[in-house]
Structure 1
Amino acid sequence: MRAFSLLLTALLGTSLALSATAAQPQVAAAPTASDVAVGPQYDTTHVYVAPADVDRFVQSFIATFGGQSTKQAVAQVTPTPSSTTTQLLQTPVGTVSLFGFRTPVPRPFGAERTGYLVKDMDAAIRAARAAGADVIVSVFPDPIGRDAVIQWPGGVNMQLYWHTVAPNYAAFQTVPENRVYVSPDRADAFVRSFLAFSRGKVVSDNPRAPGIEIGRAGETFRRIRIESTFGKMSVQVTDGHLPWPYGHEMTGYEVSHLADTLAKAKASGANVLVEPYSAEGRQIAIVSFPGGYVAEIHAATEQ
């Protein structure tokens, strides 16, 4: 019995050692987002408008923020049959990938908030999965590269993309914020997963941010701000009791002079949904552009 016990212990020890040895390369070889992130000027907000609104949106957005649009093209940008106009609106404060679908939009497209350029699509997908993301649209080819759609804890969708020919864009004057709304139940899981993927950092986690920022003056909520190579993110942790239009704004654009920017927006056909107010060092407004795209716009104020 003693001999059998010693043999069993040795076999178990060998098995555990082999398991640990086998598992170790997977951990060590797991890619990091620092290997695949490119820069915030290569990340876009995905905007879907009706074909009849495309030109009006382009004119208004560029008139508001400056910059230029690429030439409009018609393409299939989904893995299943579809047709859309597509163009890139590049401004000093943020970039928009604009789609005017001429066919019904295949699910789940239209629900992804942003597109993040990566250096290596396969490595990015492995890193996203390792960080806890679901790949809800597997990698597929598009006319200029490869794409996939992932979903983070809390139901936040984003697209990853890779170009066959690497683009070269100028840096932003100010980096826009990806504005995310999640529940208290999933907030920590979302932040933990996104930080693991982006190798970013939490620059502030305010459990008592002013509720006016989500349309609930006199109350407070938790607001987490993150920065990474992918850019900036503002995470609003709420109970979902949000008055219009909060939660519809996907991106926050930082400008030098809010009043001047809003004047340009209104002159070019945009509507101011939330008039300017001040909160924690910012002057903030919310605007709806032709076609229905809702954006937060803010400027720093002296504190």
Structure 2
Amino acid sequence: MRITRSFGVIAIAIFLSTGSARLFPMRGTALAVADAATVTPNVTVEPQYDTAHVYVAPEDFDRFVASLVATFGGTTSKQGVFTVTPTPSSTMSQLVLTPVGTLSVFGFKTPVPYPFGAERTGYLVTDLDAAVQAARTTGADVLVTSFNDPIGRDAIIQWPGGVNTQLYWHTTAPSYKALQTIPENRVYVSADRATAFVASYVAFSHGRVVSDDRHARGIEIGKPGETYRRIRIESGFEKLVVFVTDGHLPYPYGREITGYEVPNLTDTLTKAKAAGVEILVAPYTADQRTSAVVQFPGGYIAEIHSVAEKPK
């Protein structure tokens, strides 16, 4: 199965790099990849149903949620205590619905079962079983097979490069407001695994690479005067940014899970500081945006940006 999956990723990578629609036979199976977007069903929903997963200590839970709403605006679901893992555990849980992205907040009252806590995002899918099979087909590992939770079913997958994502399906379909801006899932991978990660993710999400800058400005990852490779992907899930680096990253880069686009960065940072949010990286301008990196009460680190004004 591992050999089959590896050949599949190679075939998809060739397709992505050449744009060719030729068939690429894979050793040991009759399957051939004609077009990466037609290998698997499209299981995406809309971006407001994709959540950043944030784990905080129970004593920080309320302060963290309040700081999010104070910074970005929005509403919350009713807070509760649930078992959201396939093994015994107990966690406070609440959904935060902001105009710039949705967050699932967990405050475990028991030790967190492995590998929960390492997944950076949760994606709502139209069919969990189809999504899990699609993940396998496109080169991801299934770390936690499907299990029931209080409102549906879940699984955890790992993309090439070690990036974990939780997949969700709800028994009763949720209904959230559309987002004002689409958040970015910020993923750091090595040069050795970048091609495999992009191929796997694009095929699974039915997304597209919108830019691949091999000489992006290093200031974006705390290394001014240097360059690195940055890949931007868009799909029905959310925006995703791949930072291809050598791992020589100054703090806090690599710790931020999500990038949030706001109308005015200065105004948002003013609200954030008033809510107890710490500015870890002061605002700078690069790639037609002004960005900062912040840490919310409870430890959640995020990038916040707004579109930079063009010189008149």
Note whether the superposition's TM-score is higher than 0.5.
Answer: yes
Q: CA deviation at 1:26?
A: 11
The match for 1:155 among 158, 162, 186 is 162
The reply to whether residue 260 of structure 1 matches residue 267 of structure 2 is: yes
- Residue 195 (structure 2) aligns with: 188
Is this contact kept in 2: 1:74–1:84, CA < 8 A?
yes
The match for 1:128 among 107, 114, 135 is 135
- Residue 150 (structure 2) aligns with: 143
The reply to whether residue 177 of structure 1 matches residue 184 of structure 2 is: yes
* Cα distance between partner residues in 1 of 2:169 and 2:32: 27
* Cα distance between partner residues in 2 of 1:166 and 1:25: 34
- Residue 247 (structure 1) aligns with: 254
Q: CA deviation at 1:302?
A: 2.9
Q: CA deviation at 1:210?
A: 0.5
* Cα distance between partner residues in 1 of 2:273 and 2:75: 19
- Residue 32 (structure 1) aligns with: 40
SS state at 1:138 partner? strand
Structure 2 residue runs without a partner (length 5+): 1-28
The one-letter amino acid of 1:144's match is I
The reply to whether residue 90 of structure 1 matches residue 110 of structure 2 is: no
- Residue 111 (structure 1) aligns with: 118
Is this contact kept in 2: 1:31–1:124, CA < 8 A?
no
* Cα distance between partner residues in 2 of 1:247 and 1:169: 29
* Cα distance between partner residues in 1 of 2:292 and 2:217: 15
* Cα distance between partner residues in 1 of 2:251 and 2:130: 39
The reply to whether residue 282 of structure 1 matches residue 280 of structure 2 is: no
Is this contact kept in 2: 1:83–1:102, CA < 8 A?
yes
Give deviations 1:231-290, integer Å, cap 9, x for gaps.
100000000011000000000000000000000000001100000000010000000000
Q: CA deviation at 1:24?
A: 5.9
The one-letter amino acid of 1:68's match is T
SS state at 1:56 partner? helix
Residues 116, 50 of structure 1: CA spacing in aligned structure 2 closer, same or farther, 3 A cutoff?
same
The one-letter amino acid of 1:69's match is T
Output the TM-score relative to the length of structure 2.
0.87
Q: CA deviation at 1:169?
A: 1.1
- Residue 67 (structure 1) aligns with: 74
- Residue 3 (structure 1) aligns with: none
Q: CA deviation at 1:203?
A: 0.5
- Residue 165 (structure 1) aligns with: 172
Is this contact kept in 2: 1:287–1:294, CA < 8 A?
yes
Give deviations 1:57-113, integer Å, cap 9, x for gaps.
011010000001111010000001100000100000001000000000000000000
SS state at 1:148 partner? strand
Output the TM-score relative to the length of structure 1.
0.90
Is this contact kept in 2: 1:46–1:113, CA < 8 A?
yes
**Percent of aligned positions that are identical:** 67
For the aligned residue pairs, the C-alpha RMSD in angstroms reads 1.8
* Cα distance between partner residues in 1 of 2:30 and 2:228: 41
Q: CA deviation at 1:170?
A: 1.2
* Cα distance between partner residues in 2 of 1:189 and 1:24: 19
Pairing 1:218-237 to 2, within 5 Å after superposition: 218-237=225-244
The match for 1:298 among 274, 284, 305 is 305
Is this contact kept in 1: 2:33–2:39, CA < 8 A?
no
SS state at 2:175 partner? coil
SS state at 2:60 partner? helix
Count of aligned residue pairs for this structure pair: 281
The one-letter amino acid of 2:40's match is T
* Cα distance between partner residues in 2 of 1:244 and 1:118: 34
* Cα distance between partner residues in 1 of 2:141 and 2:296: 32
SS state at 2:269 partner? helix
